[in-house]
Structure 1
Amino acid sequence: MTIAPERPVALRVGRDLVSPELFDKLAAFCADEYGLDVEMSARVMNEALAFLWTMGTTGKGDVMAPSKAVDPAWHAFMLHTQEYTTWCEEHFGRYLHHAPNSKTRTLGLMSDVMAAITEAGFAVDRSLWGFAAECNEPACCSDGPCC
C-alpha cells in the first residue's frame, strides 16, 4: 500500500537565505552592475544563493561552478564584502572563495550542480543553468568547447 503525503513539501528558495532587504539590495545592484532587468536579476540572485548554500553546506566547492547566467549574482554578493563575509561565517564558519574557471561549464558539471542544489531541497530554475554545449556552431557563446 502506498501512502501519499497530506500536502506536498515545498522546495526552498535561495532568496529566503537572506533578509528581504538584503535580497532586494543585492538584486538591484546586480541589475545595475550587469545590465539585467529587475526580474532576471532577482531570478539569478535566487539561484546564486541556493548555489552558495549548497556549496557551503556540502563541502563540494572544489567541484561546483555557477553557470554563466548565475555567476554575476555571486559577484554582486561578494562585492558587498561585509554582508557576504558575515553571511558565509554565520552559515558555514568560513569564507566561500570564488576561483573562476569558465572552461569548466560543461553539460556534466551543470547537471551535477543542479542535482546537488535539488538534493539540498531547493527549487532550480533550469533555464539559468545553461552550458556551452547548448551552443549551435558556427555560432559561439564564448565559454566552452564550441568556440
Structure 2
Amino acid sequence: MSITVDTADPSPLGTADPRDLVPADLFGRLAARISRDHAVEAPMAERIMSQALAFLAACARHRGAGLTPSSQVDIGWHTFLLYTAEYAQFCARVAGGFIHHRPDDDELGAMSSPAGRADRIAATLAAIQAAGMPVDTELWDPARGGDGATRKSDCQAEGACRTEAVIGSHCSRTL
C-alpha cells in the first residue's frame, strides 16, 4: 500500500486544529457531554472530540479511502450526532453534504481480518494527516487504550461512508 501526502497545502481545511472546525462553545459542550456520558476526565473528552472532528474532516476529504474510526473516536462522532443542527451545519460546511450515520447489523464483512483492519487504520491516520490534522496516537493504538482495529468503515465513492462494529453503523453523504 502506498499513500502520497501533498505537503504543499499542510492545512487544506484552513486549520491545523480540529477544534477550529466548530465554534468553541460547541466544542466545549461536546467534550462536556463525552466526559459526563462516558465517565472520562475533561482533557480526555477533549482529545476524543478533537480526533472525531479530524476523522470526519478526513472522511469528507477522502471519500472512497476506506477510513476507520477507533471506538474512542467513534464516541465523539456519536456525541456530535446528538446535536443534529450543529452536526448538519458542520457536514454542509466541511463535507459539502450531510454525513449520515445509520445502524448496520452486518457483524462480519470484508474487513474482519486483522491485516485488513490494520491497513484501514493506517489509511485513516494518513488521511487525517493529509487533511492537515494531527493524530492522537493513543486514541488509535490498541496497545495504548485505543482500539481502532476493532472497527471498519469505507468512505466510498459517491459519498457513502460505512462504519461497522459488533452492532455497527454506516454513514452516507448526500448533497
User: How many angstroms does 1:45 deviate by?
Assistant: 0.4
Segments of 5+ residues of structure 2 without an aligned counterpart are: 1-9, 145-149, 152-175
User: How many angstroms does 1:102 deviate by?
Assistant: 7.8
Alignment of 1:1-147 (within 5 A): 12-60=16-64, 63-99=66-102, 104=111, 106-131=117-142, 134=143, 143=150
**Partner Cα separation in structure 2 for residue 73 and residue 93 of structure 1:** 20
**Partner Cα separation in structure 2 for residue 102 and residue 67 of structure 1:** 16
**Partner Cα separation in structure 1 for residue 64 and residue 24 of structure 2:** 27
- Ranked by relative contact order (alpha carbons within 8 Å, sequence separation 6 or more), the top structure is 2
Task: Quote the sequence identity (%).
Answer: 33
Q: Which structure's residues are more often strand, by fraction? A: 2
Q: Which has the larger radius of gyration?
A: 1
Instruction: Tell whether the 8 Å contact from 1:45 to 1:70 is kept in structure 2 after alignment.
Output: yes
Equivalent residues, number: 126
User: How many angstroms does 1:68 deviate by?
Assistant: 1.2
Normalised by the length of structure 2, the TM-score is 0.63
Normalised by the length of structure 1, the TM-score is 0.74
Instruction: Identify which range, 86-95 or 116-125, moves more after superposition.
Output: 86-95
Segments of 5+ residues of structure 1 without an aligned counterpart are: 1-8, 136-142
